[in-house]
Amino acid sequence: MIRLLNTPSRCGAFFVLVALLFDSSLFGDEGQQSHAPKRPNILFLFTDDHAYQAISCYGSVLNQTPNIDRLAAAGMRFDRCLVTNSICGPSRAVILSGKYSHLNGFRQNGDRFDGSQVTFPKLLQEVGYQTALFGKWHLESEPTGFDQWMVLPDQGQYYNPKFLVPGGETTIEGYCTEIITERSLQWLERERDQEKPFLLMVQHKAPHREWMPGPKQLNLYRDVTFPEPETLFDDYANRASVLKENQMEIARHMRPGEDLKLWRPDDQSKAAENFFRRMTPSQRHAWNDAYSPDNARYFARQLEGREQTRYFYQRYLQDYLRCIAAVDESIGELLNYLDKRGLAENTLVVYSSDQGFYLGEHGWYDKRWAFEQSLRTPLVVRWPGVVPPGRSNSELVSNLDFAPTFLSAAGVAPPVEMQGKPLQPLLRGEPAPADWRQSFYYRYYELGTHNVAAHEAVVTADHKLIHYTARLNNERKREAINEWDLIDLRLDPNELRSFYTAPSHAEIRTRLEQELQRLRVELKAD
Ligand code: CA
């Protein structure tokens, strides 16, 4: 606590007050306090749709991510970080507010975030942090709580993107991932007040659909054949009927042009024109050089059925993983900067994504469902002096916990309305506190895109009870439904079968139904 009081801050008096009110155990025992004496800087490295299956420290069989691994080697990898609502805008709203969608008001993409509500960046500003956000935002309203920001409008563009800035907009030539990185480095080096701790949120568009690689990665993985997931040809049997209604299958729903880059050289369509319209002639030239030979071979082969699906899967992964290679390189540049400026020791670095993603599991791309690949999101935390190096953790943690964690790190008691918990006890490598969550409530609202049913779920270490509540009918109108799946992750890790009506699972089903009801009440779910 003595070190805390010495923290240089213009809001010193306020900070001392919060620090005194606040449970000093969040900073660890006496011995650990001495290693984390100052309020840490917070570097939040964030991507859009990055599957844990495509991160080597998570055991990827697809690619290498040496810079995310570098964070994990010096910090902690969370193996069961769950999102409350597996889609872009809602996840971001949860992270900022520390509250579920039904309380922060942002349930589905297209909603507008109420920027007047309490968010962790605002609270950090109040105690003297300098805050900046660069990259994808996707919350419709203007960012609040940031001293400096530059955000992509809506989904943004990979090539020569337009950005919104305070009071206007700007277009920057180049590749989106590199531009966001350079803007972040510029702020760190030249724009921030070096006397204050900082919060910097670096939020990439990558690797979101349409998975457009940057000029430097166009030829990566050209001759690689990726292993296929066991469930690439899932037939959606033995689970709720709404699974079959999905429109996110590699086999049936990918667009050959935009998604798979299978453009014919003479394609004069509006779709092709739109796809390439932002590129400069030299960017277009490099792109054509990279893709044309493979495309010519594809069109000559006239693949069908499973053979075609397998080819689509390979093409999808090539581009997806190329986008990630640029993200990993960006992370390396930022970590190198922290090292070079002596900032690494006092900076809490987080790597995460807005949700997970299907890389062919269940035959899918995209996200939304309560199955593992999209429910889980990567979370790697490096915090020298607090997090012992090279650890992993399999407790149920969530993107709800990010805001309380960052606030606690800064010595601010999280507001009671926030529904997550500070991760500090886990980060210190201690056993989970006795009251740590043993079950987790999930809720997905959006109907329409990809035709995924609305659902809620209760998730534990070994089971999931999923309740499908609404679908779109043939007239594309909302229709209430009442379908249930009970997943047993121990017996069926690929989530191919529901045990909802199995006598063997009657007892666990009852317990999960009760738990679902308890969580709805506790979390004020509507
Ligand atoms: Ca996303």
- Span from the CA of 323 to the centroid of ligand 1 (angstroms): 14
Closest CA to 353 of 143, 51, 111, 90: 51
- Span from the CA of 121 to the centroid of ligand 1 (angstroms): 21
In sequence order, the 6+-apart residues with CB closer than 8 A to the CB of 168 are none
The amino acid occupying position 398 is S
Element spanning 349, H or E: strand 347-353
What is residue 293's predicted lDDT score, i.e. its pLDDT? 97
- Span from the CA of 49 to the centroid of ligand 1 (angstroms): 4
What is residue 431's predicted lDDT score, i.e. its pLDDT? 95
- Span from the CA of 37 to the centroid of ligand 1 (angstroms): 35
Provide the whole-model pTM: 0.93
Give tens-digit pLDDT for 106-156.
999 999 999 999 999 999 999 999 999 999 999 999 999 999 999 999 999
CA-to-CA dists, residue 327 to 93, 152, 173, 390, angstroms: 22, 16, 18, 22
- Span from the CA of 89 to the centroid of ligand 1 (angstroms): 7
Which residue segments constitute the domains of the chain, with CATH numbers given?
Answer: 440-522 (3.30.1120)
Q: Which residues of the chain are under the pLDDT cut of 50? A: 1-36
- Span from the CA of 324 to the centroid of ligand 1 (angstroms): 14
What is residue 526's predicted lDDT score, i.e. its pLDDT? 80
- Span from the CA of 139 to the centroid of ligand 1 (angstroms): 12
What is residue 37's predicted lDDT score, i.e. its pLDDT? 52
- Span from the CA of 84 to the centroid of ligand 1 (angstroms): 13
What is residue 2's predicted lDDT score, i.e. its pLDDT? 29
Q: Which residues pair with 45 in a beta bridge?
A: 202, 351
Q: Cα 81–200–426 angle (5° rounding)?
A: 30
What is residue 23's predicted lDDT score, i.e. its pLDDT? 40
- Span from the CA of 48 to the centroid of ligand 1 (angstroms): 4
- Span from the CA of 408 to the centroid of ligand 1 (angstroms): 26
Residue whose token pair is 């199955």: 371
- 483 within 8 A of 492, measured Cβ to Cβ: no
- Span from the CA of 266 to the centroid of ligand 1 (angstroms): 33
What is residue 482's predicted lDDT score, i.e. its pLDDT? 98
